[in-house]
Amino acid sequence: MNGGPSFERDIRPLFRPGDVESMLFAFDLSVYEDVRDNAEGIHERLVDGSMPCDQEWAQADIDRFRAWIDAGMAP
């Protein structure tokens, strides 16, 4: 392990149960492969504030998500 961000430790906890539920029509935010496969689109929506629908993420959390993508999206 390179010590970078991981899905289970750093990313999965950012998605609340309501976020997971509201996105099930498209993909499952609780499943690593679904988030990995849609990571760039998720990041775009986090940046523009359209996801999650009820409140924007803190910039630090958006940055953590970007860092996870840039580090290779470890499970």
Tokens of 1: 């392990």
Cβ pair 10, 68 in contact under 8 A:
yes
pTM for the structure as a whole: 0.92
User: Could you state, in order of their start, the residue ranges of all structural domains in the chain?
Assistant: 7-70
pLDDT tens string 12-27: 999 999 999 999 999 9
DSSP state for residue 6 in the 8-state scheme: B
Question: How does pLDDT run across 42-75, given as a tens digit for each residue?
Answer: 999 999 999 887 888 999 999 999 999 999 999 9
Three-state DSSP class for 2? coil
Tell me, what DSSP letter sits at residue 38? T
